[in-house]
Amino acid sequence: MEPRFWTKNYDYSVPTTIRYPKIPVQEFVNLAAAFQPNKPATDFYKSFITFREMRNRILRMANALVREGVGKGDRIGIALPNSPQYVIAYYAVLTAGGIVVNMNPLYTHDELAFMVKNTRMNFLFTFDMVLPTIGPLAKEMKLKLIVTKMADFIDGFGVSTARDLALEPDWLHFSELLESCAKDVLPDVTVTPDDPAVIQFTGGTTGIPKGAVLTHANLVAATMHVCLWGQSTVLNYISKEKVILLGVIPYFHVYGNITCLNVGFFSAATQIQLPRFDINELFEAIGRYEQITFFPAVPTLITAVVNNPKIKELNIASKIGVFNSGGAPMPAELIKKVKDMGIFFSEGWGMSETASMGIINPVMRPKAGSIGIPCPDNDVRIVDLDEGLQDVKLGEPGEIIIKGPTVMKEYWDNPEETKKQLKDGWLHTGDIGQMDEDGYITIVDRKKDLIIAGGFNIYPREVDEVLYQHPKVKEAVTVGIPDDYRGETVKVFIVLKEGQKATAEEIIGFCKEKLVAYKVPKLVEFRDSLPKSTIGKILRKTLREEEMAGSKK
């Protein structure tokens, strides 16, 4: 079998290898500002910032951070939804030499506290609506906040002040900090491709989050993979002035960070930014443009769009060029519907540890049911589950391992997990797949018990641990079960302590206090006992198999 034999199936314009520029990620901003200075970089509720204006704000914020004491290698948290403020904060931190720690702003106190403590960050960008959670955390952990209000960057709403938001004396107001610094030159900080750029938290078999350290080189490579992979259907037909992408998936997630934010600047695309998924806001945004070039999404989002009765009225079929799907497999019927509409699509596979990229379907030759073929310069092997290093035959299942330019440097401050997952440069993914004679890979199972619901990764052990905190719960286990809309949904099985009574609503309400919404169980089943192995381990797999069997009846 020839090395990288799958490259024969690349679209005609995709290179089999790439000469990656030796630049830090923030150089994308300088490139776009130099060659498309007057084109809008962002469209945030019909408020526009051009690439040149965006560069100016990024540089001023970067210099303000340096003035506040941020130095090279300092970890700076960003807990913001998609917005101009996220863009400014992200590239400003990198320009100042810092490392971005991406954080879901809707996480609970305990989830956020772990990240703050693990990375030892000193500053955190956030916004007013989540201060009830993040404010007490900041006081507790002596964390300096930089706070904004989303409407501050929407024309006609005015700009808030630190007094308006009742900020603590040692916290900073985003817009006031920006206005306080007129210095718009590059800070005197040297950033190399091998320097860490982002710490992206992910879970694991233990349920304890791990911070994947992604270098500038990782992010540049991942961004180029996306852009070069799609150029046959995008750049060959559309001029730079008309390239527009829809930024709905969160930028704090590695998928959105690469395919929306960084791709947006590298391709000089106007990013239509939506801080949340609201179908009416989404359709309003699409309706304002002749065409959306690129729409990164997850299957649940694509389903909501193509099944909405307004699609004919808004002529959606002619407005979207390419759907990109990630996070979970696209059902066959959804793929057919998208293709019938004349919209191109590509779906693929990636992890936080691979900067979201790794394996992807060719745009012009996708294979339904497959996650595609390895991206340029990636080596992928399917290895024996027991031996771990012995390749299996084509068509046989095994663990997917990957080596390439997007594979992370390490797990932050976690040499033990790094050693387990990275062996001689090969990342052991924990996903079980099989490769056909053309190099297309299909996911057949998961070595880990990961649940993927609506494109979000949910680690059952994390939910289990919350359930065990409930005073009435004796035993509990969490499984992912099939769901037509979300791909999977979260179900928990519970054995109560003797003499106790509880309702499903009580359990769900308890979890809502300790978990972000997408991790909260949707279904609760009470049992007298749970299946166990001979050593007393609860058999999560048995329960999931029962649910799978029941769903087929």
**Ordered DSSP codes for 120-170:** T-SEEEEEGGGHHHHHHHHHHTT-EEEEE-GGGGSTTS----TTTTT--TT
Inside any domain, residue 513: yes
3-state secondary structure 512-524: HCCCCHHHCCCEE
Task: Specify the amino acid at residue 345.
Answer: F
Burial (CB count within 10 angstroms: exposed 0-12, middle 13-18, buried 19+), residue 151: middle
Report the predicted TM-score, pTM, of the whole model to 2 decimal places.
0.86
What number of residues does the chain have?
553
Beta-bridge partners for 196 = 215
Residue 206 is predicted with a pLDDT of 44
Going by C-alpha positions, the residue among 515, 449, 438, 516 that lies closest to residue 479 is: 449
Residue 233 is predicted with a pLDDT of 61
Inside any domain, residue 236: no
Residue 205 is predicted with a pLDDT of 40
Task: Specify the amino acid at residue 471.
Answer: P
Are 113 and 65 contacting, i.e. CB atoms less than 8 angstroms apart? no
Inside any domain, residue 529: yes
Inside any domain, residue 533: yes
Structurally, the chain folds into a number of domains equal to 1
- For residue 441, the SS3 value is strand
The DSSP output letter for 507 is H
Residue 204 is predicted with a pLDDT of 45
3-state secondary structure 388-409: CCCECCCCCCEEEEEECCCCCC
Inside any domain, residue 386: no
| CATH number, position 545 | 3.30.300.30
Going by C-alpha positions, the residue among 523, 508, 412 that lies closest to residue 75 is: 412
Inside any domain, residue 420: no
**Ordered DSSP codes for 445-505:** EESS--EEETTEEE-HHHHHHHHTTSTTEEEEEEEEEEETTTEEEEEEEEEEPTT----HH
Going by C-alpha positions, the residue among 348, 100, 69 that lies closest to residue 211 is: 100
Pairing of strands 426-435, 441-446: antiparallel
Q: Which residues contact 414 (CB under 8 A, 6 or more apart)?
A: 210, 211
The DSSP output letter for 375 is P
Query: Around Cβ 318, how many Cβ atoms within 10 Å?
Result: 12
Residue 326 is predicted with a pLDDT of 83
- For residue 425, the SS3 value is coil
Tens of pLDDT along the chain (553 residues) come to 789 999 999 998 899 999 999 999 999 999 999 999 999 999 999 999 999 999 999 999 999 999 999 999 999 999 999 999 999 999 999 999 999 999 999 999 999 999 999 999 999 999 999 999 999 999 999 999 999 999 999 999 999 999 999 999 999 999 999 999 999 999 999 999 999 999 999 864 445 789 999 999 999 999 999 999 987 666 567 777 889 999 999 999 999 999 999 999 999 999 999 999 899 999 999 999 999 999 999 888 888 898 888 888 888 889 998 888 887 777 777 888 898 999 988 888 999 999 999 999 998 888 888 899 999 999 999 999 776 679 999 999 889 999 999 999 999 999 999 999 999 999 999 888 899 999 999 987 666 677 888 888 787 878 888 998 899 998 899 999 888 888 889 999 999 998 999 999 999 999 999 999 999 999 999 999 998 754 456 788 889 888 877 765 5
Inside any domain, residue 517: yes
Going by C-alpha positions, the residue among 85, 460, 43, 31 that lies closest to residue 240 is: 31
Inside any domain, residue 516: yes
Q: Count helices and strands (H / E) in the chain.
A: 17, 27
Task: List the structure tokens of 392.
Answer: 């299996």
What domain range is 536 assigned to? 451-551
Query: Around Cβ 99, how many Cβ atoms within 10 Å?
Result: 23
Residue 308 dihedral angles phi and psi, to the nearest 5°: -80, 135
Task: List the structure tokens of 198.
Answer: 């982002």
C-alpha pair distances (Å), 392 with each of 297, 383, 437, 540: 33, 5, 13, 27
CA gap 417, 411 in Å, rounded: 7
**Helix, strand, coil % in the chain, rounded to nearest 5:** 35, 25, 40
Residue 282 is predicted with a pLDDT of 94
First CA to last CA across the chain, in angstroms? 42
Q: Which residues contact 520 (CB under 8 A, 6 or more apart)?
A: 490, 508, 511, 512
**Ordered DSSP codes for 306-351:** HTSGGGTTTTHHHHEEEEEE-SSPPPHHHHHHHHHTT-EEEEEE--
CA gap 101, 99 in Å, rounded: 6
C-alpha pair distances (Å), 447 with each of 239, 329, 451: 44, 17, 11
Residue 449 is predicted with a pLDDT of 73
Residue 534 is predicted with a pLDDT of 45
Which single residue is written with the structure tokens 């308006």?
164
